[in-house]
């Protein structure tokens, strides 16, 4: 089977979609389906279902073979930090780790609200990705009570297998694009990751809205997409998970929900 790659747009909301529109059109022209990480009420700016143009744009992407994924609820972390390590994870690496410290009941409520929104719109949803890839223990327990099939971290996608979450290695390339020196470092790091990941069965390109504001990062993502098209099959995350499901029975074994590691990585593009 040919190796796979997925193009994943993070932080999709009415406020960010205009930044993505040109890239999305380019992906469509190349036949690359997009995985859209959609935030229901981005930073409290209002429910996206109130924006008919945004909903129509997402529905066009779904009709082209794309996938909508629940990406937090507010995409904002307003809870206090506890200790220096927690501070670094939630205030230095990212300010948006919404599900990092939520108690179980609050995480469950936000998951249910988000799933209800998708259901009202008739949008199928299989996956949940926490903002900043940060899932606390309470959020993991809440996630286990939903019907969602997968979640992910910077290096793995966890597919559901009964009461277990089984990992498949799927590195995600991400940029830190908010300053010139970070863009230079990001380009070097991601070029290296592209070379190192040649033998991996699945690779993810993780774009953030800020990437679209800078020519260096925007061009990198277009070049990466073209390069991967020459050697890999483009697909959404849900499609890739179904194709690679046999790997979940391999050497990595299952990861019990109760033992699930906290997603210690962070969305570099959000820095």
pLDDT at 121: 97
Q: Is residue 269 scored above 50 in pLDDT?
A: no
Place 259 in a pLDDT band, splitting at 50, 70 and 90. very low
pLDDT digits (tens, 9 = 90+) for 102-124: 889 999 999 999 999 999 999 99
CA distance 163 to 139: 16
- CATH code of the domain covering residue 37: 3.20.20.370
Number of structural domains the chain divides into:
1
Cβ contacts of 242 within 8 Å, gap of 6 or more:
none
pLDDT, position 250: 52
Residue 134: domain span: 4-270
Confidence band (pLDDT; 50, 70, 90) for 88? Answer: very low
Give the pLDDT of residue 240.
Answer: 97
Confidence of residue 55 (pLDDT cuts 50, 70, 90): very high
Q: What confidence score (pLDDT) does residue 169 get?
A: 93
Q: 188: pLDDT confidence band, cut at 50, 70 and 90? A: confident
pLDDT band at 168 (very low <50, low <70, confident <90, very high): very high
Tell me the pLDDT tens digit for each residue of 4-44: 999 999 999 999 999 999 999 999 999 999 999 999 999 99
- Of 129-143, 209-223, 254-268, which range is least confident? 254-268
Asked if the model's pLDDT at residue 185 lies above 60, the reply is yes
pLDDT in tens, 199-241: 899 999 999 999 999 999 999 999 999 999 999 999 999 999 9
Residue 58 has pLDDT above 50, yes or no: yes
∠ at Cα 133 (242, 269), nearest 5°?
110
Percent of the chain with pLDDT over 90: 65
């Amino acid at each position: 089977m040919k190796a796979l790659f997925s193009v994943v747009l993070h932080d999709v909301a009415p406020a960010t979609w205009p930044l993505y529109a040109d890239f999305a059109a380019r992906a469509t022209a190349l036949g690359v389906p997009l995985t859209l990480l959609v935030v229901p009420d981005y930073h409290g700016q209002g429910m996206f279902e109130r924006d008919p143009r945004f909903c129509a744009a997402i529905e066009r992407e779904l009709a082209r073979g794309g996938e909508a994924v629940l990406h937090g609820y507010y995409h904002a972390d307003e809870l206090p930090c506890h200790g220096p390590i927690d501070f670094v994870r939630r205030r230095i690496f990212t300010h948006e780790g919404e599900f990092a410290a939520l108690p179980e009941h609050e995480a469950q409520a936000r998951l249910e609200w988000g799933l209800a929104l998708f259901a009202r719109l008739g949008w199928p949803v299989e996956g949940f990705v926490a903002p900043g890839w940060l899932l606390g223990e309470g959020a993991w327990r809440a996630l286990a009570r939903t019907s969602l099939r997968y979640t992910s971290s910077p290096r793995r996608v966890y597919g559901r297998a009964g009461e277990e979450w089984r990992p498949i290695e799927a590195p995600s390339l991400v940029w830190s694009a908010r300053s010139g020196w970070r863009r230079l470092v990001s380009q070097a790091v991601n070029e290296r990751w592209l070379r190192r990941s040649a033998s991996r069965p699945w690779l993810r390109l993780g774009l953030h809205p800020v990437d679209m504001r800078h020519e260096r990062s925007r061009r990198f993502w277009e070049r990466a997409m073209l390069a991967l098209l020459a050697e890999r099959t483009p697909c959404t995350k849900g499609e890739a998970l179904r194709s690679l499901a046999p790997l979940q029975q391999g050497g990595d074994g299952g990861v019990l929900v109760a033992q699930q590691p906290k997603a210690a990585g962070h969305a570099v593009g959000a820095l």
